Amino acid sequence: MSHSAAPGSAGALHSSRLQQHLQQFITQHHIEGHLLVALSGGLDSCVLLHLLATLPNNPGIRLSVMHVHHGLSPHADQWAEHCQRLCASHAIPLQVVHVQVPRDSGQGLEAAARHLRYEAMRAAHADYVVLAHHQDDQAETVMLQLLRGAGMRGLAAMASYDAQQGLLRPLLDISRAQLAEYAAQHQLEWVEDESNHDTHYDRNFCRQQVLPLLEQRFPGAGKALARSALQAAEAESLQMALAELDAANALRGDALNVARLQALGEVRARNLLRWWLSSRLRYLPHREHLQEMLRQLLTAADDAKLALLLDGEQGLWLRRYRGHAYVVAQRKSADLDIVWDQQPVVALPDGSQLKFEQQLGAGLSLNRLSGKPLHIRHRQGGEHFKPYANRPGRSLKHWLQEADMPPWQREQLPLVFAEDQLIWVPGIGMASHLQAQSHEDGLLICWSGSPLKDAN
């Protein structure tokens, strides 16, 4: 269904304010480059496109448009055609992307469609994606997050400028009523998605029934909710800054010191754990799950083999070893038995590489290897190794424990054997009796892209 707006008396004033608002947003955030406008064909995105298309004096900005065709509405083709006409009128290139929205993803139809939209827009590799979310959308998001029991991150809702994701929402301070007045002033046409009136969806229920009722009782409720999102974003920023300060004393590389975590007290410890996990996981655990993780980390015995699943699809686990917590990717590794064929780089099944380089007086003596074939294998158990000339040989298990290497890393090590003799172990070294002398040609081996950060 197509709609258009008739001019209103206050339209010129609102039109000028919106144009100034957008120009200030672009100047404040130093926006330039390729901007991809997400265009549904509805009122909000049509106003956004018109504002950007008519914005003067921005030579550093190049616009293009994407319309994602979900195929969920019988009017979907008409919406795409409307977007084509609109972009043609502004001489702005348009890409229509067709997606198939799964109805059984477990996310719900709305979430699945949103996920596909963002995937399509990220695939365009623009400098920024510009979205038409406005103040009323922000209020609805805050309301839904409150009802889900969200923390500061959830209540912060949508950011107007998200540099990490490359997302811009320049209309987040503007109400839908203001957008409608702008559309009236410029006699814009847009399409109406009939699903917006279906209160079966939570967001539509809030939009159609909850927020109007709140506005009747508490005028300005929507604006106040959106303002709360800004305050929550500031509080979240302070929490993250505190976590970074705490992390400076509690992190050792990628590992989190459990004793120092415990010394922070429950609230700061949970905040640090959440911050630490946020850079490693796609989705953060709920508060109750996070609290249980913290409890088990702090109360587990030193010799306990603590393993808590974080992400089954990615194979990520929370592990504890010798007083430190780790996020570990654990997948069943394939049997490894590769014969080195003199190539400088050997690609391993886990994506890492063994690099071989000949160098005078360093590494394994090529003369003493006597042309024996070199095999790359995983640990089987019972291996014996002597990396130091002045110390007796010991079991490989002994050396790995002495090196403080966590058990899950030990099983992934690519060991190098000369026939059946272990001659090189990442992070430990080479067999002492094969160490090249200053006058001998040697073979240096390095494990690149490994959990040990390039182990020689």
- Residue 319's nearest CA partner among 255, 248, 251 is 255
44 labelled binding-site residue? yes
Structure tokens at 371: 């042309």
Structure tokens at 191: 């399409």
End-to-end CA distance of the chain: 66
Alpha helices of 148-220 — where are they, by DSSP H?
Answer: 152-155, 176-185, 202-205, 211-217
Other residues' Cβ atoms within 10 Å of the Cβ of residue 102: 13
40 is in an annotated binding site: yes
User: What is 33-65 written as a DSSP string?
Assistant: EEEEEE--SSHHHHHHHHHHHT--S-TTEEEEE
Q: Measuring CA to CA, how many Å separate 198 from each of 111, 149, 193, 237?
A: 16, 24, 10, 36
* C-beta separation of 98 from 71 below 8 A: yes
**Strand 441-448 with 128-130, pairing:** unpaired
Other Cβ atoms closer than 10 A to 370: 8
Q: Is residue 254 a contact partner of residue 167, using CB atoms and an 8 Å limit?
A: no
What span, in angstroms and rounded, lies between the C-alpha atoms of 54 and 31?
Answer: 16
* 250 touches 282 (CB < 8 A): no
* Cα(84)–Cα(93) distance, integer angstroms: 9
User: Is position 106 annotated in a ligand binding site?
Assistant: no
Beta strands in 140-237 (DSSP E): 161-162, 167-168, 189-191
37 and 66 Cβ atoms separated by less than 8 Å: yes
**One-letter amino acid for residue 327 of the chain:** V
Would you say 42 is a known binding-site residue?
yes
Contact 257, 250 (CB under 8 A): yes
Residue ranges for the known binding site are: 40-45
Residue ranges for the known binding site for ATP are: 40-45
